Amino acid sequence: MRETETLLQSERKAIFALCFVYGLRMLGLFFIMPVIVYDLQENDPLNVGLKAGFVIGAYGITQAIFQIPFGILSDFFGRKRVIVAGLLLFSLGSFFAAASTNTTELIVARLIQGMGAISSVVTAFLADLTRPKIRTKAMAFVGLSIGTAFILALVISPITYSFVGLNGLFFIVGLLGIFAVLVVLGIKETKCFLRTKIVESYTLRIFSFQLTILFFSIFILMTIQAALFIVIPLYFLDFGYQIQDHWKIYLPVLCFAFLGIIWPIKKITRDGNQRLFFIFSIFLLFLSIWSFGQFSENQGIFLLSLVLYFLGFNLLEAILPSWVSMLSAVESRGFSLAIYNTFQAMGIFFGGTIGGLLFEKYGFDGIIYLCLILSFFWIIISFRLKKDG
C-alpha cells in the first residue's frame, strides 16, 4: 500500500511541470484581483465595481467557450500541441493587456487571454501521466499550485503594481506564458488518449448525476471567489493597509490555510472518503462568508475568516479535479475535464459580472448574500453525492 503511494520519478517530473503551467493559468486571473479595483478607482473611477467585474469576468467567458473544443482536440491530437497553442494565446492576450490604454481595451485583451483555455487539457495530461492510486495526491498538487498562484498574486502583485502598474503586471504574466511553453515541450507525452470517433467516445455517461454535481460545484466555488475579490481588497484599505502592504495580510493567512490541508489530503489519499471532506470544506466556506458579513469591521475575526475560506477553497480545488478524473472514462477524460473547466470559467464570469452589479446596487452586503445563498444550496445538493464516487 505504501509503495503505491510513492511517486515515481516520471510522475514527479510531470506533476512539477504541469502544476507550474496550471498555476500560471490561474495566475492570469489572480494577479489582477488584488489591484484591479484600486487601479480603477485611481484611473477610471466611474462605476468601479461594475468595470472591475467585467475585467475579471471577461477572462472567464472565453475560457468557458474554448474549454470543450480544446479538450476534444487534446483527446484526438494529443495534449502537448493543444497546451502549447493555448499558452501562446494566453501570452498574446497578456501582451495586449500590457499595451491597453483604457478599460475597454483591457476587457478585450482579457477576452483574448481567456481564449488560451488549457486547464482541462493540463488536468487530463496529468491524469494520463499518473497512476490511479496517486492521482488524488497529484491533483492535490494542482490545488497547491493554485494556492501558490494565490500567494504570488496576492503577495507579490500589490508590491509589483506599485512599481510597474497594471500594464507591467500583464507583461510579466505574458513572459511567464512563453516560459511555460518551454516547460511543456520538455514533457514526454504518453499515448493514453485514444483517437476514436467522437460519437463512440463521448457518451451520456459524462453527464452522470455524480459528475453533474461536481460540475456545478466548481461553478459555485469560482462564482464565490470572483465575487468576493471585488470587495475584499477594499476592506483591507479600510483597515488601513495601503495597496503595497496587502501582502502582510495574505501571506500569513495563506500559510495557515496550507498547513491546514496537509492532513486532509493525506487522509483522502490513504482512505478515500472525499465526500466527507468535500462537504466539510463547503461548510467552512459558508461559515467564513457569514463571518465576513457579521464581523467585517473586526480585523481579527475578518482575518480568521479568511484563513477558513482559503482552507476550504484549497481543499476543494484539490478534491474536485481528482474526483472528476476518476469518474471519467480514459478515452473521454479530456472532454469531461473540459466540461468541468467550462463550469469553472463560467463561475468566474458569473461571479465577476453579477458580483459587480450587486456591489454597485447593494454594496458589500449584496455580494455576501449572493455567496451565502449559493454555498447553502451547494451544501444541500452535495449530500446527494455517493461516498465511493
Cα torsion at 123, 2, 211, 227 (round to 10°)?
Answer: -60
Residue with cell 498547513: 259
Residue with cell 447553502: 376
- Tell me: pLDDT of 198 over 60: no
- Tell me: pLDDT of 205 over 60: no
The single-letter code of the amino acid at 130 is T
* Distance separating alpha carbons of residues 122 and 115, to the nearest angstrom: 15
* Cβ–Cβ under 8 Å, residues 237 and 362: no
Alpha helices in the chain (DSSP H): 9-30, 36-43, 48-77, 79-98, 103-114, 119-128, 135-151, 157-185, 198-201, 209-228, 232-238, 247-271, 274-294, 299-327, 333-362, 364-382
pLDDT at residue 85, as a whole number:
92
- Tell me: pLDDT of 364 over 70: yes
pLDDT at residue 2, as a whole number:
40
* Distance separating alpha carbons of residues 77 and 274, to the nearest angstrom: 32
C-alpha cell at 297: 469591521
* Distance separating alpha carbons of residues 170 and 166, to the nearest angstrom: 7
Residue with cell 444550496: 377
C-alpha cell at 324: 472528476
More confident residue, 3 or 66: 66
* Cβ–Cβ under 8 Å, residues 176 and 184: no
In this prediction, residue 334 has a pLDDT band, given cuts at 50, 70 and 90, of low
pLDDT at residue 378, as a whole number:
94
* Distance separating alpha carbons of residues 377 and 151, to the nearest angstrom: 29
pLDDT at residue 201, as a whole number:
45
Q: What is the mean pLDDT of residues 285-309?
A: 89
Choice among 1-15, 37-51, 126-140 with the minimum mean pLDDT = 1-15
Q: Which candidate, 183, 159, 185, 184, places its Cα nearest to that of 172?
A: 159
* Distance separating alpha carbons of residues 89 and 331, to the nearest angstrom: 26
The model's pLDDT over 112-144, given as tens digits with 9 standing for 90+, comes to 998 988 887 887 788 788 877 776 677 667 766
In this prediction, residue 372 has a pLDDT band, given cuts at 50, 70 and 90, of very high
In this prediction, residue 387 has a pLDDT band, given cuts at 50, 70 and 90, of low
Give the relative orientation of helices 209-228 and 364-382 as an angle to the nearest 10 degrees.
160
What predicted TM-score, i.e. pTM, was given to this entire model? 0.78
pLDDT at residue 196, as a whole number:
39
- Tell me: pLDDT of 200 over 60: no
The model's pLDDT over 210-241, given as tens digits with 9 standing for 90+, comes to 888 999 999 999 999 889 988 888 888 888 88
C-alpha cell at 127: 491524469
Cα torsion at 346, 351, 353, 358 (round to 10°)?
Answer: 150
More confident residue, 331 or 35: 35
C-alpha cell at 255: 500559510
pLDDT at residue 112, as a whole number:
93
* Distance separating alpha carbons of residues 371 and 330, to the nearest angstrom: 35
* Distance separating alpha carbons of residues 78 and 385, to the nearest angstrom: 32
Share the mean pLDDT of the chain: 82
Choice among 45-59, 140-154, 281-295, 303-317 with the minimum mean pLDDT = 140-154
The single-letter code of the amino acid at 364 is F
What's the angle, vertex CA 84, arms to CA 79 and CA 87, rounded to 5? 120
**Which range, 52-61, 71-80, 361-370, has the best average confidence (pLDDT)?**
361-370
Backbone angles phi, psi at 44, to 5 degrees: -150, 70
pLDDT at residue 99, as a whole number:
94
Q: Count the neighbouring beta carbons within 10 Å of the beta carbon of residue 290.
A: 16
pLDDT at residue 111, as a whole number:
93
Residue with cell 496537509: 262
More confident residue, 201 or 81: 81
Q: What is the mean pLDDT of residues 145-155?
A: 75
In this prediction, residue 376 has a pLDDT band, given cuts at 50, 70 and 90, of very high
Q: Which candidate, 63, 66, 140, 55, places its Cα nearest to that of 100?
A: 55
pLDDT at residue 308, as a whole number:
92
pLDDT at residue 369, as a whole number:
94
C-alpha cell at 109: 485583451
More confident residue, 375 or 263: 375
C-alpha cell at 263: 492532513
* Distance separating alpha carbons of residues 80 and 161, to the nearest angstrom: 33
* Cβ–Cβ under 8 Å, residues 122 and 83: yes
pLDDT at residue 3, as a whole number:
42
pLDDT at residue 90, as a whole number:
92
Choice among 268-272, 277-281, 291-295 with the minimum mean pLDDT = 268-272
- Tell me: pLDDT of 94 over 70: yes
* Cβ–Cβ under 8 Å, residues 375 and 291: no
In this prediction, residue 147 has a pLDDT band, given cuts at 50, 70 and 90, of low
Q: What is the mean pLDDT of residues 35-48?
A: 79
C-alpha cell at 260: 491546514
* Distance separating alpha carbons of residues 274 and 252, to the nearest angstrom: 27
